[in-house]
């Protein structure tokens, strides 16, 4: 069995996400914002890039692995990935949880 055809695998960028946790899984809609909004309502228009679904267990492990990789990147490069406090606050997060 050979490598999959790279051209057959979707490749996309996203800058937004909506996450819903249910009793049996996690659903994520990955979106891309309007690059040149003319006004506030235009800025809210997004394009869905992908919808993904996974189990609660897989989502938890994925989150842990992603955090581990980012921490290793920051440590290895000595580069702190900075996120403005307003972003944390807007998402109901605390920067100290990182």
Contact assessment for residue 59 and residue 26, using Cβ atoms and an 8 Å cutoff: yes
26 phi and psi angles, rounded to 5 deg? -125, 130
- Alpha-carbon distance values, 70 to 39, 50, 98 (Å): 34, 23, 10
Q: What's the pLDDT score for residue 19?
A: 97
Q: Note whether 11 and 21 are within 8 A (CB).
A: no
pLDDT digits (tens, 9 = 90+) for 59-92: 999 999 999 999 999 999 999 999 999 999 999 9
**pTM attached to this predicted model:** 0.78
Q: Cα 79 from chain centroid? A: 20
Classified as helix, coil or strand, 53 is strand
Local structure of 6: helix, strand or coil? helix
């Amino acid at each position: 069995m050979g490598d999959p055809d790279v051209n057959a695998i979707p490749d996309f960028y996203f800058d937004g996400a909506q996450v819903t946790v249910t009793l049996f899984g996690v659903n994520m809609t990955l979106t891309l914002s309007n690059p040149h909004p003319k006004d506030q309502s235009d800025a809210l228009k997004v394009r869905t890039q992908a919808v993904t679904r996974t189990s609660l267990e897989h989502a938890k492990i994925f989150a842990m692995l992603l955090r581990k990789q980012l921490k290793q990147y920051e440590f290895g490069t000595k580069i702190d990935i900075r996120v403005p406090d307003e972003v944390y606050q807007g998402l109901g997060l605390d920067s100290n949880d990182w």
